[in-house]
Amino acid sequence: MGGHREKDEGDASLLRAVAAGDSAAMATLYDRHAGWLHARLTRRCADPEVVREVLQDTFVTVWRSAGTHRGEEAGGWLWTIAARRLIDARRAQERAARLETTPIDGPRTGYEPAAATPSAEERVLAGLEYGDVGTALDRISPELREVLRATVVDGLTTRETARLLGIPEGTVKSRAMRARAELRAALDRLTPSPMGGPA
């Protein structure tokens, strides 16, 4: 696993250079990560134009916010940005579709076109970003959160998660178990009990 550690340290130094405005470091970071980010975005979204725009927005965000990287695995950090940009892009598409189908003026006929129903995956992603699950996820430790996102949200295997995060497969399994327990506890603290008090 030494190679993974060296790659993580290399990514961290690249991100520090990007934060200092080094465009060559940005190009190297792009070359290292754009391929797998594109593949994962494509699994989530069938529209190649949206995938291209999200990938571009992801690296624009990295360029602007590399200084906020706190030392967690670069791959997990990049994927978090990309997943958020994808959610934003889907919401923008939904808003545009609603505007196109909603009459601006004229009498109401009693019939309003149905808004596009988000897919189950889109609802889960939105919940992870903005709902109680997202709040609870923010309350567990970053290394556990990244394992949970990779294995549950992205549907990666233990081996793929280990490769992405640069940790042994056994560590992925133990972190996933701890992450689920911590997430349940965090959700219990957020959800009031039926008796009116805290859970």
Which value, in Å, is the radius of gyration of the alpha carbons in the chain? Answer: 20
How many helices and strands in the chain, by DSSP H and E? 9, 0
3 state DSSP class of 192: strand
3 state DSSP class of 105: coil
Q: Return the pLDDT at 60.
A: 95
> Between residues 80 and 23, which one has the greater pLDDT?
23
Token digits for 178? 């701890």
Q: For 142, what's the count of Cα atoms within 13 Å in the CB-facing half-sphere? A: 11
> Between residues 191 and 147, which one has the greater pLDDT?
147
Q: Return the pLDDT at 150.
A: 78
Q: Return the pLDDT at 1.
A: 44
pLDDT(116) > 50? no
Nearest to 66 by CA among 13, 16, 9, 11: 16
